[in-house]
Amino acid sequence: MPQCENESRTMSYDDAMCCLSSLITKRTRADNNNTGDAFHLLFDYLKILELEEPISQLKVIHVAGTKGKGSTCAFTESILRNCGFRTGLFTSPHLIDVRERFRLDGMDICKEKFLAYFWWCWDRLKEKTSDDIPMPSYFRFLTLLAFKIFAAEQVDVAILEVGLGGKFDATNVDLWDIVNGSETTPPSDTPTSTSTPPALDVTPQKATTDPDAVKKWKVKAGKAMYALTVAVEDEFLQRIKDARTSKEAWDTLTSIFAKKNDAKLQSF
């Protein structure tokens, strides 16, 4: 892993900032030519960066809303860090330095680590992207970079603040990996598409004993508990670990919400 020993690479950092600035599209999200913001392309970027499996293992707290997102993220990160967890925090915007968006254990990522991960992602995307799969836009690149940093640094939990929010916010890519207990095609958000993106309904249609599917459902149930910040007893955690089918994992998850103030779980 890169070390924070040499902070003097100002030229390389300036080069990185120039490359990053080149991703600012100066277009609105409604602009049909804004192809780098197409949500479904995020899955191509994940493959290019070999992040599919690492992301599936991340425990994520995903914070959305109108006001107070940054404060909620900061409080949550501080609480978890002081409880002994290794934390990663991704927020926006930054005030002075883009590295403010990426915090490890409460500290901005150092220049050495930032540059190592930045160029690792940049070089691979530049090599593999094309007219059909263009470079991601500014915020999407930073989101991918955050996933790379947190996965490589092996944080115990990643706290993510949404960008503009909405169904196609780049931070949502972590939530679209499994639908109905199996791999699903990501929603299409291109203007020419006539398909309707599937609702984020993860209730299993039927129980499955496929080992891979059951493993993924255990991960998904665990993510839901982190994302919705529900306090759970060891009893529920053990029941999820012992689940033999996707339905058992789901039933355990819903029973948690039934017990906790009759909360209703619709989707995550």
pLDDT at 163: 87
Nearest to 224 by CA among 260, 177, 175, 176: 175
Confidence bin at 48 (pLDDT 50/70/90)? very high
Contact between residue 80 and residue 88 where contact means Cβ atoms under 8 Å apart: no
Nearest to 172 by CA among 11, 47, 40: 40
SS3 content of the chain, % helix, strand, coil (to 5): 45, 10, 45
Domains along the chain?
Answer: 36-175 (3.40.1190.10), 177-268 (no CATH)
pLDDT tens figures, 14-29: 999 999 999 987 655 5
pLDDT tens figures, 169-193: 888 876 554 332 333 444 444 433 3
pTM over 0.95: no
pLDDT tens figures, 104-158: 999 999 999 999 999 999 999 999 998 888 999 899 999 999 999 999 999 999 9
- The tokens of 37 are what? 């913001």
Q: What is the 3-state secondary structure (H, E, C) of 156-168?
A: CEEEEECCCCCCC
Rounded-to-integer distance, Cα 185 and Cα 231, Å? 32
pLDDT at 8: 41
